[in-house]
Amino acid sequence: MLPRPVSKSSQTGFTLLEVLLALVIFAMLSLSAYAVLQGVIRNDEVSRDKITRLSELQRAFATLSRDFTQTIPRPVRINGETSTVLFQAERFQLNSDDGAVMFVRAGWLNPGGELRRSELQRVGYRLRQQTLERLTYLYPDAVTGTEPAATPLLSKVTAFSLRFYRNGEWLTQWNTPTELPAAVEITLTLEDYGTIRRRFLLTGSETTADNGSSE
């Protein structure tokens, strides 16, 4: 007896062309999925960087506001000598690359007076290597030769300037260090956000000013 022929309908398997086509489709889908994944990762990194930067900005301006709004008219000793200086502000002082300022603020918490210091703090600000730094002394009347502690406050700062409100006008220079301005305007130029201005009222001043708005 001759064997019964096998019908084409019972045959299985793929041709080489079909296998290659399937591999090409799978590779394209894999590349698309990888591109989407990379995009998600990049977006996540950008979002984290933006959030970190905004948090840095918020902390910096909160610190500036806390210091300037608690400024008091308290003179300090300079190089061990008694002086009447209340508010120092001049470009390139304090080893700054741009604007600089130094004053005394109240409200430095010392619960129950347990620490061997007062609640007054001598603070300042300067720009060093594109970083806004906060300068602090442990005591308002620092010992001669004592250097302030410098704390980085805000990075990517290309310019730092101040203006001062007195008798109804804004001044670009403060030539009366024995007095406090009524308000201070801080201008920061940032690499990523451009120019930002903030105004702070000095409650220790005897005069008042229009606080205005920030930009």
Asked whether residue 77 carries a pLDDT value surpassing 50, the answer given is yes
Within 10 A of 209 (CB to CB), how many other CB atoms are there? 22
Topology classification of domain 66-201: Pili subunits (3.10.610)
State the pLDDT confidence band at 132, using cuts at 50, 70 and 90: very high
Task: Give the CA distances from residue 145 to residues 79, 90, 92, 141, 142, in Å, rounded to whole numbers and listed in that order.
Answer: 7, 21, 19, 11, 8
State the pLDDT confidence band at 29, using cuts at 50, 70 and 90: confident
Amino acid at 75: P
pLDDT score at 53? 92
pLDDT score at 208? 44
Q: What is the pTM of this model?
A: 0.75
pLDDT score at 88? 93
Is the Cβ–Cβ distance between 207 and 182 less than 8 Å?
Answer: yes
Question: What integer best gives the mean pLDDT of the chain?
Answer: 85
Asked whether residue 214 carries a pLDDT value surpassing 50, the answer given is no
Asked whether residue 210 carries a pLDDT value surpassing 60, the answer given is no
Token digits for 98? 């741009």
The ranges assigned to domains in the chain are 66-201
Instruction: Give the HSE-up count for residue 164: Cα atoms under 13 Å, Cβ half-sphere.
Output: 21
